[in-house]
């Protein structure tokens, strides 16, 4: 699916969010990455096989 050089990480990689954005919809709160992952603004993910990854924002110390 990816034609970038170097090739973007696959949807199964731990660094899958480093893939290029193919379609951004900030008004709706999501972006489609070139590896087929849908990245939501709350950092949740929808993987191409239908699995979901819960939001995983880093908490900020006060």
Q: Say which residue, 10 or 62, is predicted with more confidence.
A: 10
DSSP 8-53: PPPTTSTTGGGSPEEEEETTTTEEEETTS-EEETTS-EE-TTS-EE
Closest CA to 21 of 6, 10, 31, 11: 31
Its pTM stands at 0.84
pLDDT tens digits along 24-47: 999 999 999 999 999 999 999 999
């Amino acid at each position: 699916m990816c034609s970038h050089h170097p090739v973007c990480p696959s949807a199964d990689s731990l660094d899958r969010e480093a893939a290029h954005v193919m379609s951004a919809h900030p008004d709706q709160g999501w972006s489609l990455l070139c590896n087929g992952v849908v990245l939501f603004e709350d950092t949740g993910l929808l993987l191409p096989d239908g699995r979901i990854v819960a939001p995983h924002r880093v908490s900020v110390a006060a």
